[in-house]
Amino acid sequence: MRTVSGVDILPRSFYDRDTRQVALDLLGLHLVVGEGGEQKIARIVEVEAYLGSQDLACHTSRGMTRRTQVMFGPPGHAYVYLIYGMYHCLNVVTEPEGKGCAVLIRAVEIVSGFTGKTSGPGLLCRALGIGMSHNGVDLTQPKFCLVRPATAGAIRVVRRPRIGVDYAGHWAKRLLRFYIKESPCISRR
DNA sequence: TGCCGGATCCTG
DNA sequence: AGGATCCGGCAA
């Protein structure tokens, strides 16, 4: 298995599972961006699950387009998009190729290598320097990946409706937003 | 080709 | 409450 700084990189099989399960398992894991002196590490504390083409809040609910190509692709890749013309959002693609599922990273805590605000999907991408050049990148290689930290203690998970998807009918009510209760970096209580 | 609205964030 | 700022998706 590949490693960064002596820690195992999460393998593709981690992502190739039920999206809600992946979303829950992502809480507390570390996101690694860049290598060597440029390396930035962040602890994931808030996520949202997007369940594919039948999920009216999910970008893939409108079918395969150039933008959603990556989401319909194989698991374990980054899906990055531009929102409101000024912020980027980072997702990890889940489940087998063709399902169009992903998990949005909504908030992180700073571990090392960078500064800035990280409580919100646009803010964390800005702080970590994530942009469209990261779209479609394979998350199983050292320069952009997820790892399980050695010191992963127990956490309490809060389940809420997703943010900003009121247009999605009954899908807006589903409890698909998860965050670590005790984290100070949650985007909204 | 044009228009509308968005998985956001900041300011007043 | 409203603006920044621009792209994607759909209607025409």
Q: Let me know: does A175 contact A158? Beta carbons within 8 Å.
A: no
Point out which residues pair with A82 in neighbouring strands: A88
Question: Is any atom of nucleic acid chain C found less than 7 Å from the CB of residue A67?
Answer: yes
Question: Is any atom of nucleic acid chain B found less than 7 Å from the CB of residue A152?
Answer: no
DSSP A91-111: EEEESSTTS-EEEEEEEEEEE
**Secondary structure (3-state) at A40:** strand
Chain A 4-43 contacts with nucleic strand B (CB below 7 A): none
User: Domain map of chain A by residue range?
Assistant: 3-180
Average pLDDT, chain A: 97
Q: What whole-number distance in Å separates Cα of residue A163 and Cα of residue A57?
A: 10
| Percentage above 90 pLDDT, chain A | 96
Residue A88 in tokens: 């980027």
Q: What whole-number distance in Å separates Cα of residue A27 and Cα of residue A120?
A: 15
The model's pLDDT over A133-186, given as tens digits with 9 standing for 90+, comes to 999 999 999 999 999 999 878 999 999 999 999 999 999 999 999 999 999 999
Q: Closest Cα to residue A45, out of A108, A102, A104?
A: A108
Find the Å distance, CA of residue A10 to C1' of nucleotide B5: 37
Burial status of residue A9 (CB atoms within 10 A of its CB: 0-12, 13-18, 19 or more): buried
**From the DSSP assignment, how many helices (H) and strands (E) are in chain A?**
4, 11
Question: Is any atom of nucleic acid chain B found less than 7 Å from the CB of residue A71?
Answer: yes
Q: Average of pLDDT values for A3-23?
A: 97
The bases of strand B with some atom under 7 A from any protein CB are 5-10
User: Which listed CATH number (3.30.390.30, 3.30.450.20, 3.40.50.720, 3.10.300.10) goes with A3-180?
Assistant: 3.10.300.10
pLDDT at A163: 98
For C6, which residue's CA is nearest its C1'? Answer: A85
Q: How confident is the model at residue A37 (pLDDT cuts 50, 70, 90)?
A: very high
Question: Is any atom of nucleic acid chain B found less than 7 Å from the CB of residue A49?
Answer: no
For B5, which residue's CA is nearest its C1'? Answer: A84
